[in-house]
C-alpha cells in the first residue's frame, strides 16, 4: 500500500486544463522529484496533495485519508503532510521557537514544555540550535528555510512536500538547505519535491517525475531518467537545465 | 408613513441646491488641486523655511474641523476687515481645506520618486523644472491618485456644512424643504442619496481623467 | 451685557471641550466595536455578507456625515424614536467611524501575504486559530497607525454635533461668538483647542507608521 495515492486527477482553472489525468503512487520512504518547465503543473499537483488547491476529477489519498479542500479535512491531513514553501512563510511576529511551537501546542495540544523540547530538537537537526529566540527577519534566507523545515518536522509528518524551496535563495545558501533534505532522506522521511536542483534530484532522489503540459510525461528511477531520457521533451529539458 | 411624493413640489429647490453644490465643489477641486501641487513642490523641494511654513499650514488645517475653519473665515475674517459673501467664504474654506490635504498626499507621491528618475533627467541636460514637470510629476500623481480621488470626494461631501453659513447648497435645500413640509426623514434621505450619486459620479470622472492622464500605462 | 475676558472665553471653551472629548471617545469606542463585528463577518468569506458590508461602506463613505447626523436626529424622531442630540451624535459618528475603520482594516488584513494563511493551513490551524495567532497580531501592528490617524477625523467629526444642537466645543464657540461679537478671537481659540486635541494623535500615528516601516 503506497503512502500517497494519486488517481486520474484533473484540475481546471476556469477553462484552463492544468492537470490532465495524473496518476502517481508514492511509497513510504521514497524521495520523489517532480521536474518540468514552469507552467507544466508541477506546483499545482503538489498543492493538490494537501488540499491547498481543489481538483475537479479523480482522487488523492494520503496515508489512507482522502484529500479535499474542506477545512476540517485539511486539518486532519496537516498531521500527516508537512509543506515547505518557496517563500518560507514564517510568521514574522513570532520568534523562531514560537514559530515551531505554535502548531504543536494549539493543534496537537502538546504541553508547552513538550513542544519546546521538540522545537529545540528540530532546530538542532537543521543546524540552528542557537537561533531559538531570534526573529525570522534577522536570519538569512537559507536559515529561514531551515526553520520552516523544522516547523514542518515538529508536526511529525509522514510526508514532506517541498515546493521549490531553494528557488528564492542566494546560490551560496542553497547547499545548507539541501544538506538538511539529504539528511532527512537518509532517515527515511518521505519527500516530494518540486525542484530545479537537478543534481540533487539525480543524486539523492529515488524517482523522478517529469511533468509536461499537465501530464506525467515520463517517470522512472532518478539516475536512469537523467542518463537515458525517452522522450524528446525530457531530452530538451534535461539539456536546457544541466 | 414615508411620503416621498411630498417632496415633488420642491424638486426645483433640490435641483437648485444640487447645482450650487456641484459648482462650488468643482471650483474648489480645481483650485485646491492646483494649490496642492504648488504647495507640495514647495514642501518637498523648497527652501527649508518655505517647507516649514507649508508644513505648519498643512498641519493646522488637517488637525482642525472644517466647520471651524469655515466659521473662522466667514465670521472671523470680516471682523478684521475682509468682507466675504457666504458663497465666497464657503469656496475659500473648501479650497484651503483641500489644498492642505492634497499637499500632503501629493508630497508623498513626489517623495516616492526613484532617485534614478532625477539622475536620468540631469544627465540628459533637463533643468529642475523640466525634470519635475516632464518626468516626475505624472508618475508621482499616479501613485497617489486613489488617495487623491478619495480626498476630493471627502471635501465635496464636506461642503454640506456650507449650509450652516446659508450657502444655498443641497443640504440647505434639504433643510428648507423639511421646514416647509415637515418631512425631514424623506428630505434628508433623498438628499443623502443625491450626495451618494455625486460621490459615485465624481469617482467615475476621476477614473476617466486618470485614464487620460496615465494613458502611457494602457499603451502597452 | 456681560463682559467676557479672554480667561472667561477659554474657560467656557474648555468646559465644552470635555464633551468633545467624551463624544470622541464614545464614537471611537462604538466605531471600533461595530467595525470588529463587520470585519469578523467579512472574514467568513460569505459573499452575501461581503456584499452588504461593501454597500455599508459605500453609503457611509459616500454621504456627508452631516446628513447622516440629520437622519439620525430628525429622521429617527419622526419615525417615533425620540432621540437626544447626544444619542444621535454618538450613533451617527459610530456608524461613520465603523465604515472607515472596517475599510482601513480590510486593507491591513489583505496586505498579509497569502502564504501566511497557507502556511497556517498546512500546519493544521483552524480558521479561528489562524486569525487569533497569525493574522490578527500582524494586522494589528499594521492597523494601529492608520486607525489612530483616523481618530483625528472622529474628533473633527464631533464638531458637526453642534449643528444638531449638542453643546460641545464648536457649539460653545458659536454661542460665545454671539455673546462677545469677537468671532476672530473665539474661533481662533476653538481651532487651537481642536489642534491641541488632534495634533498629538496625528503625530503618534506618523511616528508609529515610521517605526513600523523601519521594523519591516
Q: What confidence tens digit (pLDDT) does each residue in C126-141 have? A: 888 999 999 999 999 9
**Does residue B93 or residue A73 have the better pLDDT?**
B93
* Domain-wise residue ranges, chain C: 6-215
Using the beta-carbon criterion (under 8 Å), do B192 and C162 form an inter-chain contact?
no
In Å, how far is C120's CA from the nearest CA of chain A?
8
Nearest chain B residue (CA) to C162: B67
- Closest approach of chain B CAs to the CA of C18, in angstroms? 16
B166 vs C45, higher pLDDT: B166
Under-70 pLDDT residues of chain A: 1
pLDDT at A184: 93
B42 pLDDT more than 50:
yes
Instruction: Give C-chain residues touching A81 at CB under 8 angstroms.
Output: 122
B4-213 — its CATH code?
Answer: 1.10.3720.10
For range B18-38, the mean pLDDT: 97
Could you tell me if C168 and C23 are in contact, meaning their C-beta atoms sit under 8 angstroms apart? yes
| DSSP alpha helix (H) spans, A78-140 | 96-106, 112-125
Average pLDDT over chain C, rounded to an integer: 92
Q: Write down the ipTM of this complex.
A: 0.91
Our measurement of the distance from residue A217's CA atom to the centroid of its chain's CA atoms, rounded to an integer in Å, reads: 20
Asked if B189 and C199 come within 8 Å (Cβ–Cβ), the reply is no
Query: Which stretches of chain C sit within 8 Å of chain A by CB?
Result: 113, 115-116, 118-119, 121-127, 129, 133-134, 137-138, 141, 216
By mean pLDDT, which of A130-134, A198-202, B216-220, C110-114 is the weakest? B216-220
Name the band, by pLDDT with cuts 50, 70 and 90, for residue B46.
Answer: very high
pLDDT number for residue B1:
67
Measured distance CA(B98)–CA(B149) in Å, rounded: 11
> Residue C2 has what pLDDT?
66
Distance of alpha carbon B76 from alpha carbon B84, whole angstroms: 10
pLDDT at B219 over 60: no
The pLDDT value recorded for residue B220 is: 45
Write out the three cell numbers for C180.
462677545
Q: How far is A109 from chain C (nearest CA, A)?
A: 11
**A114-117, long-range: CB < 8 A, 24+ apart:** A115/A154
The residue extents of the domains of chain B are 4-213
Task: Give the 3-state secondary structure of residue A220.
Answer: strand
Q: What is the second-level CATH architecture of the domain C6-215?
A: Orthogonal Bundle (1.10)
Residues B196, C64: C-beta atoms closer than 8 Å: no
CB A234 within 8 A of CB A222: no
Contacts made by residues A137-140, CB under 8 angstroms, sequence distance 24+: A137/A92, A137/C216, A139/A96, A140/A170, A140/A173
List the single best residue of C9, C21, C66, C80 to mutate versus B (max B Cβ within 10 A).
C66
pLDDT tens-digit map of B120-139: 888 888 888 899 988 899 99
Look up the pTM and report it. Answer: 0.85
Distance CA C139, CA C134 (A): 9
Helix, strand, or coil here: C129?
A: helix
- Give C-chain residues touching B17 at CB under 8 angstroms: none
Walk me through the domains of chain A, giving residue ranges and CATH numbers: 28-54+68-80+158-242 (3.40.50.300), 90-156 (no CATH)
Closest-CA residue of chain C to B162: C66
Residue C108 has pLDDT above 60, yes or no: yes
Write down the pLDDT at residue B218. Answer: 62
C123 vs A contacts (CB less than 8 Å):
78, 102-103, 107, 151-152, 155
Contact C113 A91 (CB under 8 A): no
Nearest to B196 among C59, C71, C152 (CB): C59
pLDDT, tens digit (0-9, with 9 covering 90-100), for C160-178: 999 999 999 999 999 999 9
Nearest to C123 among A76, A87, A107 (CB): A107
> A59 pairs with which residues across the strands?
A7
Residues of B in contact with C74 (CB under 8 A): 178, 184-185, 188
Amino acid at each position: 500500500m503506497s503512502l500517497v495515492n494519486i488517481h486520474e486527477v484533473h484540475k481546471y482553472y476556469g477553462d484552463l486544463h492544468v492537470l490532465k489525468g495524473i496518476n502517481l503512487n508514492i511509497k513510504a520512504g521514497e524521495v520523489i522529484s517532480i521536474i518540468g518547465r514552469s507552467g507544466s503543473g508541477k506546483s499545482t499537483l503538489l498543492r493538490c496533495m494537501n488540499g491547498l488547491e481543489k481538483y475537479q476529477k479523480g482522487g488523492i489519498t494520503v496515508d489512507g485519508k482522502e484529500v479535499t479542500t474542506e477545512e476540517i479535512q485539511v486539518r486532519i491531513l496537516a498531521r500527516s503532510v508537512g509543506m515547505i514553501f518557496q517563500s518560507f512563510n514564517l510568521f514574522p511576529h513570532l520568534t523562531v521557537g514560537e514559530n515551531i511551537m505554535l502548531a504543536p501546542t494549539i493543534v496537537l495540544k502538546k504541553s508547552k514544555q513538550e513542544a519546546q523540547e521538540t522545537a529545540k530538537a528540530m532546530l538542532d537537526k537543521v543546524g540552528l540550535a542557537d537561533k531559538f529566540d531570534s526573529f525570522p527577519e534577522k536570519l538569512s534566507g537559507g536559515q529561514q528555510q531551515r526553520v520552516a523545515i523544522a516547523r514542518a518536522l515538529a508536526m511529525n509528518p509522514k510526508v514532506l512536500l517541498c515546493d521549490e524551496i531553494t528557488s528564492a535563495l542566494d546560490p551560496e545558501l542553497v547547499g545548507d538547505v539541501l544538506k538538511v533534505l539529504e539528511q532527512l532522506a537518509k532517515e527515511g522521511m518521505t519527500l516530494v519535491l518540486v525542484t530545479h536542483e537537478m543534481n540533487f534530484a539525480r543524486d539523492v532522489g529515488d524517482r523522478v517525475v517529469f511533468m509536461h503540459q499537465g501530464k506525467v510525461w515520463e517517470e522512472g528511477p532518478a539516475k536512469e531518467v537523467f542518463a537515458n531520457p525517452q522522450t524528446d521533451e525530457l531530452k530538451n529539458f534535461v539539456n536546457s537545465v544541466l | 408613513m414615508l411620503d416621498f411624493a411630498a417632496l415633488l413640489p420642491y424638486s426645483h429647490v433640490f435641483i437648485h441646491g444640487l447645482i450650487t453644490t456641484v459648482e462650488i465643489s468643482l471650483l474648489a477641486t480645481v483650485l485646491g488641486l492646483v494649490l496642492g501641487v504648488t504647495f507640495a513642490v514647495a514642501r518637498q523641494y523648497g527652501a527649508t523655511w518655505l517647507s516649514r511654513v507649508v508644513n505648519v499650514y498643512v498641519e493646522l488645517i488637517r488637525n482642525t474641523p472644517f466647520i471651524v475653519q469655515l466659521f473662522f473665515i466667514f465670521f472671523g475674517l470680516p471682523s478684521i476687515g475682509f468682507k466675504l459673501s457666504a458663497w465666497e467664504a464657503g469656496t475659500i474654506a473648501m479650497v484651503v481645506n483641500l489644498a492642505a490635504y492634497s499637499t500632503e498626499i501629493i508630497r508623498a507621491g513626489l517623495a516616492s520618486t526613484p532617485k534614478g528618475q532625477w539622475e536620468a533627467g540631469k544627465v540628459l541636460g533637463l533643468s529642475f523644472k523640466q525634470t519635475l514637470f516632464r518626468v516626475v510629476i505624472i508618475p508621482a500623481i499616479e501613485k497617489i491618485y486613489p488617495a487623491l480621488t478619495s480626498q476630493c470626494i471627502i471635501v465635496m461631501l464636506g461642503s454640506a456644512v456650507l449650509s450652516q453659513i446659508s450657502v444655498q447648497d443641497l443640504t440647505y435645500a434639504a433643510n428648507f424643504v423639511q421646514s416647509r413640509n415637515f418631512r425631514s426623514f424623506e428630505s434628508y434621505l433623498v438628499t443623502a442619496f443625491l450626495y451618494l450619486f455625486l460621490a459615485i459620479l465624481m469617482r467615475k470622472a476621476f477614473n476617466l481623467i486618470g485614464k487620460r492622464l496615465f494613458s502611457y500605462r494602457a499603451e502597452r | 451685557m456681560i463682559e467676557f475676558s479672554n480667561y472667561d472665553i477659554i474657560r467656557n471653551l474648555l468646559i465644552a471641550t470635555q464633551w468633545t472629548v467624551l463624544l470622541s471617545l464614545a464614537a471611537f469606542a462604538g466605531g471600533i466595536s461595530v467595525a470588529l463585528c463587520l470585519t469578523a463577518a467579512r472574514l467568513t468569506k460569505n459573499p452575501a455578507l461581503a456584499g452588504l458590508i461593501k454597500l455599508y461602506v459605500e453609503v457611509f463613505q459616500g454621504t456627508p456625515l452631516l446628513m447622516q447626523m440629520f437622519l439620525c436626529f430628525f429622521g429617527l424622531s419622526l419615525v417615533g424614536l425620540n432621540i437626544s442630540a447626544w444619542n444621535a451624535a454618538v450613533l451617527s459618528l459610530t456608524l461613520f467611524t465603523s465604515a472607515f475603520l472596517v475599510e482601513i482594516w480590510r486593507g491591513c488584513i489583505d496586505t498579509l501575504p497569502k502564504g501566511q494563511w497557507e502556511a497556517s493551513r498546512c500546519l493544521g490551524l483552524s480558521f479561528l486559530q489562524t486569525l487569533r495567532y497569525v493574522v490578527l497580531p500582524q494586522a494589528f501592528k499594521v492597523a494601529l497607525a492608520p486607525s489612530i490617524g483616523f481618530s483625528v477625523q472622529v474628533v473633527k467629526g464631533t464638531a458637526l454635533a453642534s449643528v444638531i444642537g449638542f453643546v460641545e466645543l464648536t457649539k460653545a464657540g458659536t454661542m460665545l461668538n454671539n455673546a462677545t461679537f469677537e468671532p476672530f478671537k473665539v474661533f481662533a481659540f476653538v481651532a487651537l483647542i481642536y489642534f491641541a486635541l488632534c495634533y498629538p494623535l496625528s503625530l503618534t500615528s506618523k511616528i508609529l507608521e515610521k517605526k513600523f516601516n523601519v521594523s519591516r
